[in-house]
Structure 1
Amino acid sequence: MSEAASSHVALAKSTRNSATPNSAKDDALLASLTPLLHEWLPRQRWFAGKDHPVTGFSLVSATEMLPLDAADDPGLLHLLLRVEQPERTAVPDDDCYQLLLGVRPSLPDSLAGALVGRVEGGPLAGRTVYDAPHDPRLAGLLLERFRRPGTLGTLRFERTAEIPSGLAPRVLDAEQSNSSLVYGDAYILKIFRRVFPGTNPDLELPLALSREGCERVPAPIAWFEAPGAEPLTLGILQPFLHGARDGWQLALAALAAGRDFLPEARALGRATAEVHTALAAALPTPALRGTQTRQLVAGMVERLEAAAKAVPALLPHAPGLRAAFEAVNDLGLRGSGWAQQRVHGDLHLGQTLRSPDGLWSLIDFEGEPARPLPERRRPAPPARDVAGMLRSFDYAARSHQPWHPEWAARCRAAYCEGYAQAGGTDPRGEPELLRAHETDKAVYEVLYEARHRPDWLPVPMAAIERLARSAAA
């Protein structure tokens, strides 16, 4: 029997789901897993609290997707878990993580890298727990569940189209804040690890774009969530763009070959403008003026001050950076206003794909994962996305030795030209707004690199120096 067929049979047999968890059983389950999670969770790429100690866990929900006590077959346990880190004062109370845990008597060698640990006591005593997406059998189960939408314990599955069976799964090994599974080069399932109340924009915006007929973004095929007054989006199944290459890889290849990236950058600008136009047609477009402008600038200044405390190298440039933000505030005081709409929120070359026939697509609409979900769902000037892409061209040029600042400058200009061709307005026509957003992005990059990739810190710091000089002048 194939893995997919085995998963289908196992799914049909799964009848014990924790829709209303037994508190005593779940308390014992969590207590038995806690020592393992203390060791395993902070090591995961997608865990956001690496800099602070974990003092405990609390269980939001537990759903037994496959029986956990089968003699030979693997079990599958879905958990929503709050992580207690008192020193992380900025963490919201409703911040939690999604875990998919496989359970076996022992782990085959092929799954050794997914090991969480062996449980010493409680309901799973003597059994081995591991990260389930790495198990083809359990990954196949997830696809089968999408083929049969409805409720399973504390989970709800939805789909918009028929999904074929028998597609072999594989984990997509990429550095990201989520986990991704590819099924037979036909679909990709993104599993959100850190989840928040409210519909994730990575589901909301592609659905809206699909209704507008925009083909620049893969439309969701299926998704699952934890229902409630504010449902938690847990995962999204989308078409897998087989053979497509991301813009970051293509840009680095162009640099290595010593050639320009101008046609690609111009076409990417057109694609961005098309997506912005469709989003503006699909969703509200409130104007940015008055109090909202002051709030926008205040947020930028606040992020700068917090970053400067964490990264002292920013301090000498803080007055010039603050001037870039205040220029927008000054225009607002004089009556200027700008268009706002829903945007991508974290646009860069790595969030774009070009198909073999040359068509650019935009992906990953969840926004910056470090920002609260309500902030990521808030309308913003399209300049925010443009600034993110301009920063990405700079990153690409800086990653190549020797550094090619003129390569980045030409790409930035071509991108804006393409955007103007498709969108009707050149983002460079609002220089203060664009510079403020690019400065805000560079400040974010400095903080990120200082925490996660110190060797990359010179890349955003070079932009910080340039932007501070520009604003001061």
Structure 2
Amino acid sequence: MSEAASTRVALANSTALLPSLAPLLHEWLPRQRWFAGKGRPVTAFSLVSATEILPVDADSTGIGQGTGPGTGPGLLHLLIRVHQPTLPAQSPDDCYQMLLGVRSTLPPRLAPALIGHVTDGPLAGRTVYEGLHDPRLAELLLERLRTPGTLGTLRFDRGAAPIPAGLTPRVLDTEQSNSSLVFGNAYIFKIFRRVFPGTNPDLELPLALSREGCGRVPEPVAWFEATAPEPLTLGVLQPFLRGAEDGWQLALRALGSGHDFTREARALGRATAEVHTALATALPTPVLGSAQTEHLAAGMLQRLEAAAQAVPALVPYVPGLRTAFDAVAALGHKGRSWAAQRVHGDLHLGQTLRAADGFWSLIDFEGEPARPLLERRRPQPPVRDIAGMLRSFDYAARSHRPWNAEWAARCRAAYCDGYAEAAGVDPRSEPELLRAHETDKAVYEVLYEARHRPDWLPVPMAAIHRLAAAVD
């Protein structure tokens, strides 16, 4: 084994590595936007895996030997389980992906990426930082994706299309639950931060759609995964839709200028239907029988009751809201069934992009990150996505002053019209199921806004008032 290789193995297997990083991570991790455990103390860390993508001391023989730091940079890939006290409705200890740059001295241009200075262990005397912000290390990640293979517990893979070399990287600062690099305005590389066992839908579904020839979703060109101790999707490289604008900003601009948005909403409905049709062709489409339908309604009711306990403003509306779920359960009890399939799972205007020629694309098929991966991969009625988009039109209209109820109503109708044109099925033909999913989404929004953006709470509460008063 070469000296560099033996150094890499020594660092990755060092039992002192995580204890030496833990004090820095205790301070740094809770401040990251993608950290899901905010508001709960971190009690401990455990190392799932460590891989040197670029040896920390390729030009030094002293790592782990106490002979002083080398020049770096190195790139260390870590999967770390974060232990926190949990409540019944919260997730157990989460696993996070970290890409740490390691240098003896951090250049001023990388100062904002600083995590801290290590005082002991195999990295003693070195500085660790967010490696994605280092162009040299970001370019190395692209090279790994260009040349498939394995490195420790990591496996890099790609499609048939070649990936050019030498593309300049930059970090996108708009991500919330993940991190993204853009390479040369040609590709976007999404790195999942909170990772779960199994294939992430943001890789699985775009691959399935590409096999069906659906051009509404950018096709993955490369990806990487962890192979041990269990399979985990870690990142996906897709074409970057340069010049495209997201639907949320377009909607706000239309509202601000007093322009109609129904043409765009109708086109977006058609795009959604095309994606649903392709997913139904590519992947299994089970039927939700009476038992599954009642289980679906029971889950919605459970979420309502939990949200009402957390947000007192919701309590007066609970009797009216539960009628939406009771109506679906009653239909299931009478033998009514619904088709289910894989869906986007978190569809809203911010998950859509319109090109300059008016062509709409759907992005970010990860689903709601707060939900377990097994649940996000479960087939659902397509109206779940419809309900999410209907709520998004309402959000856009409510974010504008004065509140334009007619604008939202026209967009909602146009979106359903466009969907019906392309799918041959009008989502409004299943009013009980659509109302139940829209109610479930509004309840989720109330809980989210109460916890994270109290100033926005009136937006979903207006929908709660409307849905609680709806006629069955």
Under TM normalisation by the shorter chain, which class is it? over 0.9
Instruction: Assess, with a 3 A threshold, how the Cα gap between structure 1 residues 63 and 413 changes in structure 2: closer, same or farther.
Output: same
Instruction: Assess, with a 3 A threshold, how the Cα gap between structure 1 residues 281 and 29 changes in structure 2: closer, same or farther.
Output: same
Residue 76 of structure 2 is aligned to residue 77 of structure 1: yes
1:88 Cα offset (Å): 4.4
Taking the TM superposition and a 5 Å limit, the aligned residue runs for 1:102-113 are 102-113=101-112
**5+ long unaligned stretches in structure 1:** 1-12
Q: 1:107 corresponds to which letter in structure 2?
A: L
Q: 1:406 corresponds to which letter in structure 2?
A: E
Which residue in 1 is equivalent to 2:39?
A: 51
Instruction: Assess, with a 3 A threshold, how the Cα gap between structure 1 residues 425 and 323 changes in structure 2: closer, same or farther.
Output: same
1:86 Cα offset (Å): 2.3
User: Conserved in 2, the CA contact under 8 Å of 1:223 and 1:237?
Assistant: yes
Taking the aligned partners of 1:39 and 1:315, their CA distance within structure 2 comes to 37
Residue 332 of structure 2 is aligned to residue 344 of structure 1: no
- 3-state DSSP of counterpart to 2:125: coil
Deviation string, structure 1 residues 218-246 (Cα, Å, up to 9, x no partner):
01000000014851000000000000000
Which residue in 2 is equivalent to 1:62?
A: 50
Taking the aligned partners of 1:229 and 1:57, their CA distance within structure 2 comes to 17
1:354 Cα offset (Å): 0.5
Taking the TM superposition and a 5 Å limit, the aligned residue runs for 1:57-456 are 57-69=45-57, 70=59, 71-90=70-89, 95-160=94-159, 161-228=161-228, 230-456=230-456
Identity of aligned residues (%): 75
Deviation string, structure 1 residues 173-221 (Cα, Å, up to 9, x no partner):
1042000000000000000000000000000000000000000000100
- 3-state DSSP of counterpart to 1:420: helix
Instruction: Assess, with a 3 A threshold, how the Cα gap between structure 1 residues 127 and 454 changes in structure 2: closer, same or farther.
Output: same
User: Conserved in 2, the CA contact under 8 Å of 1:195 and 1:233?
Assistant: yes
- 3-state DSSP of counterpart to 1:470: coil
Taking the aligned partners of 2:150 and 2:273, their CA distance within structure 1 comes to 38
1:458 Cα offset (Å): 0.9
Taking the aligned partners of 1:203 and 1:17, their CA distance within structure 2 comes to 33
Deviation string, structure 1 residues 33-57 (Cα, Å, up to 9, x no partner):
0001001101110101102110010
Moved more, 229-238 or 44-53: 229-238
User: Conserved in 2, the CA contact under 8 Å of 1:18 and 1:62?
Assistant: no
Taking the aligned partners of 1:144 and 1:470, their CA distance within structure 2 comes to 56
Instruction: Assess, with a 3 A threshold, how the Cα gap between structure 1 residues 18 and 457 changes in structure 2: closer, same or farther.
Output: farther
- 3-state DSSP of counterpart to 1:236: strand
User: Conserved in 1, the CA contact under 8 Å of 2:12 and 2:50?
Assistant: no
Instruction: Assess, with a 3 A threshold, how the Cα gap between structure 1 residues 19 and 399 changes in structure 2: closer, same or farther.
Output: farther
- 3-state DSSP of counterpart to 1:345: coil
User: Conserved in 2, the CA contact under 8 Å of 1:78 and 1:100?
Assistant: yes
Which residue in 2 is equivalent to 1:32?
A: 20
Q: 2:148 corresponds to which letter in structure 1?
A: P
- 3-state DSSP of counterpart to 1:381: coil
1:90 Cα offset (Å): 4.7
Taking the aligned partners of 2:53 and 2:97, their CA distance within structure 1 comes to 14
Q: 1:426 corresponds to which letter in structure 2?
A: D
- 3-state DSSP of counterpart to 1:204: helix
Deviation string, structure 1 residues 296-329 (Cα, Å, up to 9, x no partner):
0111111111111111111111111111111111
1:73 Cα offset (Å): 2.9
Taking the aligned partners of 1:463 and 1:360, their CA distance within structure 2 comes to 27
Taking the aligned partners of 1:104 and 1:205, their CA distance within structure 2 comes to 38
User: Conserved in 1, the CA contact under 8 Å of 2:95 and 2:194?
Assistant: yes
Instruction: Assess, with a 3 A threshold, how the Cα gap between structure 1 residues 22 and 186 changes in structure 2: closer, same or farther.
Output: closer
User: Conserved in 2, the CA contact under 8 Å of 1:19 and 1:154?
Assistant: no
Moved more, 266-275 or 449-458: 449-458
1:89 Cα offset (Å): 4.7
1:94 Cα offset (Å): 6.8
Taking the aligned partners of 2:308 and 2:422, their CA distance within structure 1 comes to 38
1:381 Cα offset (Å): 0.3
1:430 Cα offset (Å): 0.5
1:30 Cα offset (Å): 0.4
Taking the aligned partners of 1:435 and 1:114, their CA distance within structure 2 comes to 45
1:128 Cα offset (Å): 0.9
User: Conserved in 1, the CA contact under 8 Å of 2:83 and 2:93?
Assistant: no
Taking the aligned partners of 2:4 and 2:263, their CA distance within structure 1 comes to 53
User: Conserved in 2, the CA contact under 8 Å of 1:317 and 1:464?
Assistant: yes
1:15 Cα offset (Å): 4.1
Taking the aligned partners of 1:416 and 1:16, their CA distance within structure 2 comes to 60
1:348 Cα offset (Å): 0.2
Taking the aligned partners of 2:91 and 2:386, their CA distance within structure 1 comes to 29
1:87 Cα offset (Å): 3.1
User: Conserved in 2, the CA contact under 8 Å of 1:266 and 1:417?
Assistant: yes
**Count, aligned residues:** 459
- 3-state DSSP of counterpart to 2:260: coil
1:337 Cα offset (Å): 1.3
Which residue in 2 is equivalent to 1:10?
A: none
TM-score (normalizing by structure 2): 0.94
- 3-state DSSP of counterpart to 2:365: coil
Taking the aligned partners of 1:251 and 1:14, their CA distance within structure 2 comes to 54
- 3-state DSSP of counterpart to 2:157: strand
TM-score (normalizing by structure 1): 0.94
- 3-state DSSP of counterpart to 2:301: helix
1:353 Cα offset (Å): 0.4
Taking the aligned partners of 2:211 and 2:178, their CA distance within structure 1 comes to 26
Instruction: Assess, with a 3 A threshold, how the Cα gap between structure 1 residues 220 and 375 changes in structure 2: closer, same or farther.
Output: same
